[in-house]
Structure 1
């Protein structure tokens, strides 16, 4: 039985329900990620024919959606209409024009691994139940990877490089992590245990062959262009519901980069007039936890954050646990520092995972020290509040409580999600959570990084900036290590529009806060503002703002 047992009742929701059903048939991993477990035994058919058939279904439903007049809908349902319309068009853009299924070898590896990871990492059902889904999916992994070999044509070199680098982690996931989970089964499930271990080995072998093919074959013909170019602005409109041109966004990012750099220089002068900001940052980098103490450091910081939030009543804290764990091996190439994995919107157990990327024990001593420096004590408060409380974990738990049928399925706007987390970095300094000027300098350095992301996102996707130029911008001006800068830029090439979303979203939240302070006067409080802001779920700020003031007018 599906976890989503609320029947859609409006014509819009009934149409959306058919769209979601078709989407889950095509992409079962999406259903699993949402906490809908009717599709847990499938990987999906990524063949060109299946994708074309799905696209035809979507076009038919687009025509039906056009028969509904959004102006006649109440504001919440009108927002849902806009979410659904944008998602349908974005889906068609991806399948028919961007064609990730044809240009991304990483797509097939990601589906293979994440489809299994979601089943073992979330305790939504007894282990034996989950492992039956794992077994079914494992048995389909060789076929999925074989399909990838057939369909991927002339990808960008950096896409192939990323798939190769992540391949070792994927193999170890199948060969080590999956059998470890299966070993927890009791004797009554001995047959299931043996079947899972055998299927995991077959999946590992298939992944090894896939990586060999990537190295020996595909890498020799990976000359494609990752830049979206003419499709980029439409992608931004559909993802973020913004109308600025890429050129306008890049110019804004450059201006903010310059302004942030000036603030950092002024603050560095206060801290130590004999040192530049990057020299002070270099000093702070050398003060960090040990490799063995990384998780403990982040767990301790999270406890302090929760105590502060409760004492100062800055925002309502929803129920749900946060596990602070090592970043999965297959994700470390693209998450070199930290990350967050949210619970599904429909999962009964609302437990999120705060990923901390450990030091690579196979690296040289100098490289290990360089990795540890990315977890300096002066940076840990900023990273912890961004990923956990009051950042991603708190906000996404609140979003999972969103009341509408449609936005529980579609509500993930990186503009809002990342904008909120970046806003929290500044806001928690404003209210006194951190007072050390070195932590403030770290917060500003994070803002400088996100301003660089705006410029890099536009530059890469419009073909105006090379990968090497983007790496140099991060390493020379934001002072990233070359290895970390390359990991960042690698991810940016594969996620157009996402890198810019942090700063664009934060700016929109700050402007809305200023407006609320002006209109509410003495009745303004951060808790009132934050609770109302978070009540719409993870939808684009354009829609959040409309709902925010509609709610305010109603009290």
Structure 2
């Protein structure tokens, strides 16, 4: 049943399939905003919910029981998600097809461009984009009538993004990348035809569609966009936020409980930062220390983007000897550090893009570097590498994908609270890995941790307590060293994606709690590498199910 589910799911979500290296549907771009497509998704998840319930859980092996519990949870959450009115806000400045299509079309992302067939597949996919955009406009209009609209501040950020992808000269388009440089595997005889077809697609489908979306948002939508910040301002918004909290944290914690956790974590981490302020002999208060860290030129030693990337690459060599003591099992999938592409860098955070278990694509840690001379070492470069790269996202995601004993929906699926919780947890391993030897890297690590604690306060604050965008930006800047531009991009990301920012800290606190629990329970029998290996072998799962599975493991260690 799990195999059949995964196979059918690829047909329903071909872009997701491409991202996972399943190339059967690389020519397809479903019109995902239509009522018919939403109905097809509902039917799909209902059918599998009914099917999984036909199995007697008590008769399953322990291994299958865990899969059963995750699958049941997944089907129920998917169906609940389809009842939310998010389809009336089809894309934002940080997520949605207009951005991801450009990443795919640039030829440096998930869409393969190795054969003539690959090139033709992309042409077929991109030709479906105008119909997708017409549906998106229609759904935005439905939202305007229902009062389910995006905040004005976000729409203002979307306009230059869309305009940047409109070019009169096809050769200057991000979508021209694949034909600007053909691989040797595409026959020379096919290249002139493909080049002409790509020029035509950019002129006739790509550029006019981005222009149409831009003009609609500017002329029709922007005047109707809302001045409010949080999702609770739209009809049904409170319910939508409660669902988002549950979806992203995989817990039943209320927004208010999460808010209180955020306040106490911010207070605790500020006290740690204050200790370092005293240690380095800084005379002013903590906020003056933040300003010093953000603005003093000694913390911005870089001249070029390559120099920034070289520091990140050097961290890997530094932690390697200690990694071996903490992990018995390491991924086979390759790994690279790259600079984020220019067209999306301004609104992007550092991120990890998964590799493929067959070795054809490495895991990639993307670093946005707008101006290398302003790139600050106290933003926690060591902690960021641990989180986004090794042993954070790269270890967790690559090991999960390589684990063929798991059904595919677990190998290639994921839950934000576990995935981001693990990555944030690995930041706390810095000292044990031989990092954080300098007080400014320690303050950098606290800087990235307090950032995740602040998210609990501002995300809940904006979406359920009436906190404004400006108040949230101020709270963020008051509690960590960060430039105003970066603070604005962060807060607007949480406005666009309610609840997502909660997953990091909630997941990290649970993993830390489990580690302490088993250290206490097992005493001298506790081995950190065994704990890490087991947690990662289980793969990402909802936190309550993860705790149950780890409790079963701890019982075998006694």
Partner of 2:523: 521
Partner of 1:84: 71
Partner of 1:50: 37
1:182-331 equivalent positions in 2, closer than 5 A: 182-185=179-182, 186-190=187-191, 191-201=193-203, 202-223=205-226, 226-227=231-232, 228-285=237-294, 286=297, 287-288=299-300, 289-292=302-305, 293-310=307-324, 312-314=325-327, 316-331=329-344
Find the aligned partners of 1:169 and 1:322 in 2 and give their Cα distance.
30
- Give the SS at the match of 2:467: coil
Find the aligned partners of 1:308 and 1:284 in 2 and give their Cα distance.
29
Partner of 1:355: 366
In structure 2, do the counterparts of structure 1 residues 355 and 120 end up closer, same or farther at CA, with 3 Å as the change threshold?
A: closer
Q: 133, 147, 153: which is aligned to 2:135?
A: 147
Q: Which runs of 5+ in 1 are unaligned?
A: 1-11, 361-367
Aligned-pair distance for 1:534? Answer: 0.9
Find the aligned partners of 1:277 and 1:215 in 2 and give their Cα distance.
42
In structure 2, do the counterparts of structure 1 residues 133 and 331 end up closer, same or farther at CA, with 3 Å as the change threshold?
A: same
Aligned-pair distance for 1:430? Answer: 4.1
Q: 531, 534, 546: which is aligned to 2:536?
A: 534
Is 2:26–2:111's contact at 8 Å kept on the other side of the alignment? no
In structure 2, do the counterparts of structure 1 residues 406 and 305 end up closer, same or farther at CA, with 3 Å as the change threshold?
A: same
In structure 2, do the counterparts of structure 1 residues 163 and 356 end up closer, same or farther at CA, with 3 Å as the change threshold?
A: same
Q: 159, 165, 184: which is aligned to 1:164?
A: 159
- Give the SS at the match of 2:338: strand
Q: TM-score, normalised by structure 2?
A: 0.86
Is 2:105–2:178's contact at 8 Å kept on the other side of the alignment? no
Find the aligned partners of 1:299 and 1:176 in 2 and give their Cα distance.
30
Partner of 2:101: 112
Find the aligned partners of 1:392 and 1:130 in 2 and give their Cα distance.
29
Find the aligned partners of 1:278 and 1:308 in 2 and give their Cα distance.
35
1:420-435 equivalent positions in 2, closer than 5 A: 420-435=422-437
Find the aligned partners of 1:236 and 1:178 in 2 and give their Cα distance.
36
Partner of 1:4: none
Partner of 1:364: none
In structure 2, do the counterparts of structure 1 residues 235 and 491 end up closer, same or farther at CA, with 3 Å as the change threshold?
A: same
Q: 1:495-554 CA deviation, whole Å, 9 max, x = no partner?
A: 222211111111111111112212332232322221111111122232222222323444
Find the aligned partners of 1:382 and 1:539 in 2 and give their Cα distance.
24
Aligned-pair distance for 1:433? Answer: 2.2
Find the aligned partners of 2:435 and 2:406 in 1 and give their Cα distance.
34
- Give the SS at the match of 1:340: strand
In structure 2, do the counterparts of structure 1 residues 484 and 125 end up closer, same or farther at CA, with 3 Å as the change threshold?
A: closer
Aligned-pair distance for 1:48? Answer: 1.8
Q: 1:465-506 CA deviation, whole Å, 9 max, x = no partner?
A: 222221111122223222111111111122222211111111
Find the aligned partners of 1:304 and 1:166 in 2 and give their Cα distance.
38
Q: 1:85-141 CA deviation, whole Å, 9 max, x = no partner?
A: 333233333333233354545634245335546x64248673434322221112112
Q: What is the number of residues matched between the two proteins?
A: 527
Aligned-pair distance for 1:248? Answer: 1.0
In structure 2, do the counterparts of structure 1 residues 181 and 410 end up closer, same or farther at CA, with 3 Å as the change threshold?
A: closer
Partner of 2:380: 379
Is 1:124–1:348's contact at 8 Å kept on the other side of the alignment? no
- Give the SS at the match of 2:27: coil
Find the aligned partners of 1:174 and 1:540 in 2 and give their Cα distance.
46
Find the aligned partners of 1:431 and 1:452 in 2 and give their Cα distance.
26
Q: 1:302-343 CA deviation, whole Å, 9 max, x = no partner?
A: 333335424x4545321122221121334324324x211112
1:124-135 equivalent positions in 2, closer than 5 A: 126-135=114-123
Find the aligned partners of 1:165 and 1:304 in 2 and give their Cα distance.
40
Find the aligned partners of 2:69 and 2:118 in 1 and give their Cα distance.
35
In structure 2, do the counterparts of structure 1 residues 522 and 464 end up closer, same or farther at CA, with 3 Å as the change threshold?
A: same
Find the aligned partners of 2:111 and 2:159 in 1 and give their Cα distance.
30
Partner of 1:397: 398
Is 2:245–2:502's contact at 8 Å kept on the other side of the alignment? no
Is 2:338–2:365's contact at 8 Å kept on the other side of the alignment? yes
Partner of 2:175: 178
Find the aligned partners of 1:66 and 1:450 in 2 and give their Cα distance.
38
Aligned-pair distance for 1:204? Answer: 2.5
Is 1:327–1:356's contact at 8 Å kept on the other side of the alignment? yes
Aligned-pair distance for 1:412? Answer: 1.0
Find the aligned partners of 2:463 and 2:73 in 1 and give their Cα distance.
20
Say what the alpha-carbon RMSD is for the aligned residues: 2.8
Find the aligned partners of 1:329 and 1:204 in 2 and give their Cα distance.
18
Find the aligned partners of 2:379 and 2:158 in 1 and give their Cα distance.
33
Find the aligned partners of 2:378 and 2:474 in 1 and give their Cα distance.
26
